[in-house]
């Protein structure tokens, strides 16, 4: 699964002034992210405001972004939800469109036990031939995908990796140690990327790469190439920005920054809102210390 790449961006979904999906801006953003270091994009994930996107919007985003990207990079479709049957159906449609992989989040709200998680992910994976990446983010879902469950799921041929955002480094280390060498363990939190790489992880599904993708790519490549101190230096420089992008829940800060630097992505959809003046000022102050990698295409 080397082709999926070490740096994937969890892409925001641009909206126009009326709140409709701006597909033209979405295509431009995907290409700009590839230009600035990303190996691919995750479409309709948490950062893409998947809870407020309907089925038709998601499918059109998958289609338009894959058509724009072509073979230049990976398009990973966020097709998981708290409804197993709907997750299966959306994954099948995404496969027909031609995306490269799918991201399957732990079901939120209904609070399944580990056996339920096991059966849910098995059912979705068996509905497709696409590579599937699990997504564990208990701060959002209220349920943690246990290491033992992730390890068992890794034995399914097309479950090829996991985006781990539990912040439990012991759990993540266990997953890395007990799964196949080619099972891809991605950091789901930018500020934990270097720690997870040090444990033997593969890369990051990033938010900060909207802004500093080339720098994150350089950090990963230097670490994997044995230039550890150089990688640590880049990480330490980027850490305040990574933290500022999560000062309130993602994707509110990163959408504000993209608009601020001139790449118009619109406001978040309710119930998310734009940062208040105090929060925006804090983010703006941090931003002054950084060179932005994202190219703004006309």
Beta bridge partners of 78: 103
Q: How far apart are CA 40 and CA 36, in angstroms?
A: 11
Catalytic residue of the set 163, 217, 222, 255: 163
- Locate 202 and state its tokens: 């593969």
Does 163 qualify as catalytic in the annotation? yes
Of 33, 8, 9, 12, give the one whose Cα is nearest residue 252.
12
Count CB atoms within 10 A of the CB of residue 196: 22
Count CB atoms within 10 A of the CB of residue 23: 18
Does 82 qualify as catalytic in the annotation? no
Catalytic residue of the set 23, 135, 186, 202: 135
Catalytic sites, residue numbers: 135, 163
């Amino acid at each position: 699964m080397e082709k999926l790449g070490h740096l994937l961006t969890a892409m925001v979904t641009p909206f126009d002034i009326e709140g409709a999906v701006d597909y033209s801006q979405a295509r431009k953003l995907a290409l700009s992210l590839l230009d600035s270091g990303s190996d691919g994009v995750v479409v309709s994930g948490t950062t893409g405001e998947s809870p407020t996107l309907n089925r038709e919007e998601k499918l059109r985003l998958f289609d338009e972004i894959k058509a724009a990207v072509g073979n230049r990079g990976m398009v990973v479709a966020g097709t998981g939800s708290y409804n197993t049957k709907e997750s299966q159906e959306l994954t099948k449609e995404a496969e027909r469109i031609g995306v490269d992989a799918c991201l399957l989040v732990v079901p939120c709200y209904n609070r399944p036990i580990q056996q339920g998680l096991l059966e849910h992910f098995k059912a979705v994976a068996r509905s497709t031939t696409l590579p599937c990446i699990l997504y564990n983010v208990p701060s959002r879902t209220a349920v943690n995908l246990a290491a033992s469950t992730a390890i068992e799921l890794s034995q399914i041929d097309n479950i090829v990796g996991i985006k781990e955002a539990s912040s439990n480094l012991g759990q993540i280390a266990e997953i890395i140690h007990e799964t196949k060498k080619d099972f891809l363990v991605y950091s789901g939190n930018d500020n934990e990327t270097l720690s997870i790489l040090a444990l033997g992880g593969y890369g990051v599904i990033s938010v900060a790469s909207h802004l500093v993708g080339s720098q994150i790519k350089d950090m990963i490549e230097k670490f994997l190439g044995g230039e550890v101190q150089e990688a640590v230096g880049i990480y330490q420089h980027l850490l305040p920005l990574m933290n500022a992008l999560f000062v309130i829940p993602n994707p509110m800060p990163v959408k504000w920054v993209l608009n601020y630097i001139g790449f118009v992505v619109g406001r978040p959809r309710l119930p998310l809102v734009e940062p208040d003046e105090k929060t925006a000022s804090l983010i703006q102050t941090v931003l002054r210390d950084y060179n932005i990698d994202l190219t703004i295409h006309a």
